[in-house]
Amino acid sequence: MVSFLIVSHGGFAEGLIDASQMIMGEQEKVVGIGLQTEEGPEQLKEKMKKEVENLDEGDGVLVLVDLYGGTPGNSAAYLLEMKNKIEVLTGINLPLFLELLNLRNSQSLKELVDSAKSLSGKGFKVLSEIL
């Protein structure tokens, strides 16, 4: 099973996990880290590296980041040196996260990344066009 590390600004990561567990129940091997105002990129990198090492049981870790170009995403890029162990996706949202949780037992890390790319826009709906 692929593990997940969610990294965000503030409490978004923990909120995303909380919302997903409200919908799907408790999830194992899912950890959230929020960059706090008093922290810098180096502290965040160290926390992420430690969590990746704790989470990986051989199937890899998918690091899900809130925003491309922000400190969490830029810091997560340094984790890519742990080749074949992690992948980093930016722009995580609840619909995509729920889909990935459903798929992680049956897909490899690479397959999950491919699924995320194909699913990424499917959670976005314009209600006035539907109703």
For residue 10, is it left (φ>0), alpha (ψ between -120 and 50) or beta?
left
Residue of 130, 67, 122 whose CA lies nearest to 100: 122
Angle (CA) 117 127 64, round 5°: 30
Catalytic residues, by residue number, are: 9
